[in-house]
């Protein structure tokens, strides 16, 4: 195997930059997802404490909120796992690119498979993330409706 020169290495590094930019972008997405998961868990703990001392009329509403938070936590866990798999596949893609270039291997199908799997994991992760956003809006709608009902109830008693 002939020694690789810097001029041989530069095109390989240029090709490897794309997946590394993907890793950076998905890293920021993961940061956002983990923050949402943390807030979801914190909110669930808070509502659980309120549920223990809640009036019987409030229990059903709090239970509905906790159910939504549990769904959101599960969606976010799956989205985080898939985004992490996407980053892992992008890193493996870079390694395979280097090994392919270094040893002159014909691993184009492997590269295509890794890139496709990386993108598929990212797409599914983003779909789950959007489902979480929609569920959080559903929970907000329940809270607004409960607040409006409570406001009408107190206005009627005056």
3-class SS at 65?
A: helix
Q: What global pTM score does this model have?
A: 0.84
Q: In whole angstroms, what is the distance from residue 54 CA to residue 59 CA?
A: 6
Q: What per-residue confidence (pLDDT) applies to 18?
A: 82
Q: What per-residue confidence (pLDDT) applies to 142?
A: 84
pLDDT digits (tens, 9 = 90+) for 119-149: 999 999 999 999 999 999 988 988 888 888 7
pLDDT digits (tens, 9 = 90+) for 14-46: 877 888 888 999 999 999 999 999 999 999 999
Check whether 155 has a pLDDT greater than 80.
Answer: no
Say how many CA atoms lie within 13 Å of 152 toward its Cβ. Answer: 6
Q: What per-residue confidence (pLDDT) applies to 148?
A: 82
Q: Of the candidates 94, 102, 138, which has an alpha carbon nearest to the alpha carbon of residue 118?
A: 94
* Contacts within 8 Å (CB) and 24+ apart, 136-141: 136/72, 138/68, 139/65, 139/68, 139/69, 139/72
pLDDT digits (tens, 9 = 90+) for 71-113: 999 999 999 999 999 999 999 999 998 888 778 888 889 999 9
Q: What per-residue confidence (pLDDT) applies to 128?
A: 98
36, 132 in Cβ contact below 8 A? Answer: yes
> What is the average per-residue pLDDT within 51-63?
87
90, 21 in Cβ contact below 8 A? Answer: no
């Amino acid at each position: 195997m002939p020694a690789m020169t810097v001029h041989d290495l530069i095109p390989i590094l240029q090709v490897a930059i794309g997946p590394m930019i993907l890793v950076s972008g998905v890293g920021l997405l993961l940061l956002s997802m983990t923050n949402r998961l943390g807030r979801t868990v914190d909110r669930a703990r808070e509502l659980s404490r309120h549920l223990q001392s809640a009036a019987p009329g409030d229990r059903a509403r709090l239970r509905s909120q906790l159910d939504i938070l549990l769904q959101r936590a599960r969606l976010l866990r799956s989205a985080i796992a898939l985004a992490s798999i996407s980053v892992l596949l992008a890193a493996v893609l870079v390694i395979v690119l280097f090994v392919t270039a270094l040893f002159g291997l014909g691993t184009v199908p492997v590269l295509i498979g890794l890139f496709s799997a990386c993108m598929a994991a990212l797409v599914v992760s983003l779909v789950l993330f959007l489902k979480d956003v929609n569920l959080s809006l559903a929970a907000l709608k329940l809270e607004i409706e409960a607040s409006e009902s409570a406001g009408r109830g107190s206005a009627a008693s005056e």
